[in-house]
Amino acid sequence: MGVMWSGRVRLITVSLPYRPRATPLPSGPDDFIVLATPLTFLRRRLKRMLRDAVAARPDAELFFGFPGLRFTPAPAAQPGASVLRLAAYDGIGLPLVIRGAALAALGGIRPELGTGAAYELCLRALSCGLVAQQLPVHFAHLTLPFRLDAPMRRTVVEQWNATAGGPWRIADGARPGTLQLRRAFTQIPPVSVIVGAGPDGHGRLAPVLEALARDGWPAGHLEVVADARLDTSGASATGAVPWRTVETAGLDAPGRRNALWRAAAHEHLVFLDAGLTPGPTDLIDALIGLAADPTVGMAGGRVLGESGGRANDGRPGTPAGRDRPDAAASLFGFAPESWPERGFIHREYAVPISPLVATRRSALAAIGGFAASVPAPFLLAEAALRMRLLGLSMVVTPFAWATTGQMDGQLVSAAEAEGFLRRWGAVRDADRQTFPDTPLSPPR
């Protein structure tokens, strides 16, 4: 165990696997425990960065940096830490810094878990509502490679889930060694699927109904509320999922969406526009399991181009056959290397850009529905902003996805993007708890 001082901040380094000591770890207000692998050499700059971070984020209890070492490729910006993201892959990793007082309140490190103790500690902390903050720096000059193996990950998640009362079903993730969490509903809630017309006002309802009939959600717990402008030929032949249309003639894009969701009979809503072809996954289960949480405003899925490129991960256009631009890309314009490649992770503000989202009727009612005079590609994003002002969060799952052949329909003009970006930036800069990339004081 090593100790480093910097002003009022004291760093106490603890190597994993952890061996309990006769005296407890320090838990004063200025004590921070650094969990690391053996032979980890922390950067001196970390002390100053942490001091600035503590001043900027007094609500944060855990701090983590960019993965890898300082001489590895440019680090990837990551969304805020969450239990669901930890289950997908350990995006926090080591070294991990936690306030000594928080560690003591959580019951300390569990040595029987070996190198999985830090992962389990993160699950405990985040499920208790503690906040984790990423700092824009590599924490170490040198450290031994660390990767939590799949059996240990599953063991830790299963133990944590059992302790929490078993609210989640645990299954294999999208990639080897990763996991996914699905909500273990005690009663299956009814869901209204809102099917709007495409950007050109056209689309067929029958393919959507056929896809929903193949979905794992019971047809008896579904209803489809569709835009009357859709072509309904062949829809009655599908039979399994009940549907009805709502007249939207003469309404603008916000008015049409408002008319559809207000006509829905159920609290839980999934927006699945015509022109989107759901993938062979339990799309509704993946989305509603997240959106059912009262702290969540919207849960987003992925929308892929017909070539398989991700349509809503916020990356700018690349050569034909690869990812193409969409509203998120034209709006934020981040370079590809600033986006993580692992685990299909999105920044929070890329989530509501997707036209595939789930929410709750009460959440939409609380913000007054979709706002007039907002460009159609930004309706969901603008609604998400106002939900954030109510304290609701946005989450994403890679296990709900659909394909579309209308990628170009998601593009917006430069003027529309600039106007929306200004409004988004004002909210984002005022909300440090949700948006982890809010600038901290520069290192000295």
Going from N- to C-terminal start, the domains of the chain cover: 2-182, 191-429
2-182 maps to which CATH number?
3.90.550.10
191-429 maps to which CATH number?
3.90.550.10
What is the per-residue pLDDT for 248?
A: 93
**What tens digit of pLDDT does each residue of 23-61 get?**
999 998 889 999 998 888 888 888 888 888 888 778 889
Average pLDDT over the chain reads: 77
**What tens digit of pLDDT does each residue of 204-224 get?**
999 999 999 988 899 999 999
Q: Using CA of residue 137, residue 140, residue 142, residue 145, what is the dihedral sign?
A: negative
pLDDT band at 186 (very low <50, low <70, confident <90, very high): very high
253: number of Cβ within 10 Å: 19
Does residue 190 have a cis bond before it (omega within 30 degrees)?
Answer: no
- Examine domains 2-182 and 191-429 and report if their fold is the same: yes
Task: Tell me the percentage of the chain whose pLDDT exceeds 70.
Answer: 72
pLDDT at 353 over 80: no
Q: How far apart are the C-alpha atoms of 120 and 122, rounded to whole Å?
A: 5
What is the per-residue pLDDT for 255?
A: 95
pLDDT at 341 over 60: no
Q: Which residue has the tokens 């990339």?
A: 437
**What six digits make up the tokens of 416?**
């529309």
Q: Which of 155-164, 183-192, 211-220, 271-280 has the lowest mean pLDDT?
A: 271-280
What is the per-residue pLDDT for 437?
A: 45
- Bigger pLDDT: 20 vs 85: 20
Mean local confidence (pLDDT), 327-336:
35
Q: How far apart are the C-alpha atoms of 140 and 71, rounded to whole Å?
A: 10
Task: Answer yes or no: are the C-beta atoms of 287 and 299 closer than 8 Å.
Answer: yes
**What tens digit of pLDDT does each residue of 124-174 get?**
998 888 888 877 678 888 767 677 778 888 899 999 999 888 899 998 877
**What tens digit of pLDDT does each residue of 390-425 get?**
878 777 777 888 887 654 444 555 566 666 766 666
Task: Tell me the percentage of the chain whose pLDDT exceeds 90.
Answer: 29
CA-nearest of 413, 351, 408, 371 to 199 is: 408
